[in-house]
Structure 1
Amino acid sequence: MKRCRICDGPVRETLDLGRQPLSDAFIDPTAPPGPDGEFFFRLGVGACESCTMVQLVEAVPRERMFHHDYPYRSSRSDRMREHFERTARTLLDGVRAGPDPFVVEIGCNDGAMLAAIDTAGVRSLGVDPSGRAAAVAARNGLRVRTDFFEESSAASIRAAEGPADLIYSANTISHIPYLGSVFRGVDRLLAPDGLFVFEDPYLGDILDRSAFDQIIDEHFYFFTVRSVRATARRFGFELVDVERLPVHGGEIRCTVARAGRRPPAPAVAALLAREDALGRTSGPAFRGLATAARRIRDDLLTLLRTLRADGRRVVGYGATAKSATVLNYCGIGPGLVPFVCDSTPEKQGRLTPGSHLPVRPPAAFSDPYPDYAVLFAWNHAQEIMMKEQAFHAAGGRWILYVPDVHLV
């Protein structure tokens, strides 16, 4: 049995999604293959029987995932830019009281959140290991340290910049297996009354929506109120507020402070009680997710094979990290979905990891429109469908698979 990365308790495996590639390792078809070929690992999930933290049973080395050429760019989504602007306004209200407030963002990517902080006139610093993403932020006049956030880098930032009044992170903390070093880094860097705020995929939403594609190599932990509270207390902190967010298919924003500095908000106890009532980390919950994943796989394959037999043209929309889990778990290749369209230049002209679907620019979507499109970026469905109204007007249908396979 595996041991918990947080408390060393026993981790009981509850879900196996099989052999998977790195979700953002898009392949250059013109480059010679490496000596070891494409990297694969087993994507399994387990729950700690002690602290209840849900986690992958096999960790991928961080340098393989979050490297210089990491392709994701947060600024390319209008919805996410708006989300970060709202978040900055909310969080900075409690920060600007000091003479020289300082904000650090862990995993700043290309600077969508940093830009909002900078516009507010607050001193800030981003930390991100992806050199290309950091370069985008730097070209926009933002300060970024190209590094992994951990105890050593946090100590260096503290020595150079002083204490942080706010440490913020979006869709990053759940990616980091070595959470102990992260919390020790937060302890080094955070001001006595400062806040550590992070938002990541929420296990409750994954289970409610049967969103098994949220399980990828980059999402090492799947947070609940109970598991985050236990982790924070282990390192001398307290979970003082929680908020559910609609972005990225359902997330939770956790606010952590030093123990004894702030009383927990009523939302913490309320969501904790809901989790306990619904058995969020129990065996039956995960067995239900495993059953749903098999059902979605079978239904999606049946639909795609039927459409192919009927001579219908189907393409993919959104070469997301989540699509790697779906494509490889379901065994979907170019024979069923000839290509996938994506607006990220770094992905275009490449092949999706494992499944090897060609990634084409958005112009290919309307040249000509397909009969059907599998919406892998389902968490941006509203934004995408508004943008692609001409596809629907031409008779096109969207294929979605969360919480089940259906047509729109």
Structure 2
Amino acid sequence: MNTAWTSPSSVTQSCRSCGDRLEQVLVDLGMSPLCQTVIRPEAAEVGEVFYPLRAMVCQTCWLVQVGDYVAPQQIFDDTYPYFASYSDSWLAHARAYVEAMVERLGLDADSRVVEVGSNDGYMLQYMVQRGIPSLGVDPTANTAAAAREKGVDTRVDFFGLSVARELVADGWQADLVAGKNVMAQVPDLRDFVAGLAHLVAPTGTVTIEFPHLMTMIDGREFDTIYHEHFSYFSLVAVQDVYARHGLTVTDVEELPTHGGSLRVYAQRTDGNPVVAPSVDALLARERAAGVDTPAYYEGYADAVAKVRHDLVSFLEQARQDGLHVVGYGAPGKGNTLLNHAAIRSDLLNYLVDRSPAKHGHLAPGSRIPILHPDVLAETRPDVILVMPWNLREEISAQLEYTREWGARLMVAIPELTTL
């Protein structure tokens, strides 16, 4: 990936996929800090940089995107706090994916599997356990170290065409190139997709997963929007950028992860791949809904405003009623919600999170303390707002014990609901 970036004063409002000018605003979430960071206690009195968080719609290729105001090295550094393995449901998802790909593609000891954005080896560990040669590529050294402890060989780098060329030269042209929730996180989308096309073998397969734009729109999942997520994809937009780089979308699966995601399969166009009926079926559904029309995106800002208003009104009333309200989880999406709604520790006393990398730190922007989950049993809050609503079932099971003292579990998206 080309790691060059431009300063906010020189950012051009042009589409990172097709290059055309961006004019339609999906939603303006105001100014927000980097939401996948945490604030160390010693920096509690130090200011943060807030950047514009405005999602735009390309009316040519229909890619939804935010501006790349921040260098990727600043976001994905050696202190990156997200470790995928702390989610039990995500590990189960990864294990099921490996089982499915081994059967579907006939992967064995003679195959090559590369995952881009491999994080802490959460998925490739299951490939390694099956004796399938596997390599991860991830820019964060701390997660790569955790992956190596699982036996997953990992290259610390930003993936793009130049890295793909080096991997192929080193014998890593892949039968399977996998990426889960990574394509949204690259500012140079064209370089990334060109890298996928170069890395995959002539008869190999690329699978990329990402939250589906339609579920983000229909489910009012605006907290999915943050600076670390540069792009938001429909199948219409993915097919367009893939075609321009020699990849053909061959199949698509709809997944429940992250509130509704797609797993898109692709192969090199020069290999004359066979396209499954699922592709045309989903494209037809998207177009019938209006994904390729400006009207589809109108009214989203009003829906977001209602979510914010309902949550803040509830928290203010809870404070007046003397209720103790806390949050479960400190994910990027939660920080988008907290900062857009201007929620601070007077309304949400603290957050808890399973990741040790976040304990004792403060959430970005809101500066709400992040504590170990054990503090819930000590303080017995009245209301627990579940920030990663996409994991509501997993978290509800984890927090079943809180019902002993009558705690109420709630989510704010798509609307304020008691679990």
Q: Normalised by the shorter chain, which TM-score bucket? A: over 0.9
Give, in whole Å, the separation in 2 of the partners of 1:70 and 1:62.
12
Give, in whole Å, the separation in 2 of the partners of 1:325 and 1:195.
34
Deviation at 1:368, TM superposition (A): 2.4
Counterpart mapping for 1:80-99 below 5 A: 80-96=90-106
The letter of the residue matching 2:89 is R
Deviation at 1:78, TM superposition (A): 1.0
**Is the 8 Å Cα contact of residues 350 and 370 (structure 2) preserved in structure 1?**
yes
Give, in whole Å, the separation in 2 of the partners of 1:58 and 1:88.
33
3-state DSSP of counterpart to 2:41: coil
**Is the 8 Å Cα contact of residues 111 and 137 (structure 1) preserved in structure 2?**
yes
Give, in whole Å, the separation in 2 of the partners of 1:147 and 1:32.
31
Match of 1:114?
124
Task: Give the count of matched residue pairs.
Answer: 406
Counterpart mapping for 1:7-406 below 5 A: 7-12=18-23, 13-31=25-43, 37-96=47-106, 100-259=110-269, 260-406=271-417
3-state DSSP of counterpart to 1:200: strand
Deviation at 1:31, TM superposition (A): 3.6
3-state DSSP of counterpart to 1:161: coil
3-state DSSP of counterpart to 1:19: strand
Deviation at 1:281, TM superposition (A): 4.6
The letter of the residue matching 2:383 is Y
Deviation at 1:59, TM superposition (A): 3.9
Which whole-Å deviations, capped at 9, do the CAs of 1:142-178 have from their partners, x for residues lacking one? 1000111111111111111241111000010111121
**Is the 8 Å Cα contact of residues 171 and 199 (structure 1) preserved in structure 2?**
yes
The letter of the residue matching 2:392 is A
Root-mean-square deviation (CA, aligned residues, Å) is: 1.5
The letter of the residue matching 1:322 is K
Change (3 A) 1:99 1:361: closer
The letter of the residue matching 1:227 is A
Tell which deviates more after alignment, 179-188 or 76-85.
179-188
Give, in whole Å, the separation in 2 of the partners of 1:95 and 1:285.
37
3-state DSSP of counterpart to 2:299: helix
**Is the 8 Å Cα contact of residues 59 and 292 (structure 2) preserved in structure 1?**
no
Deviation at 1:323, TM superposition (A): 0.9
The letter of the residue matching 1:233 is A
Give, in whole Å, the separation in 2 of the partners of 1:182 and 1:157.
14
3-state DSSP of counterpart to 2:196: helix
Q: TM-score, normalised by structure 1?
A: 0.96
3-state DSSP of counterpart to 1:112: coil
Among the aligned pairs, what percent are the same residue? 35
**Is the 8 Å Cα contact of residues 109 and 132 (structure 2) preserved in structure 1?**
no
Q: Which runs of 5+ in 2 are unaligned?
A: 1-11
Q: Which runs of 5+ in 1 are unaligned?
A: none
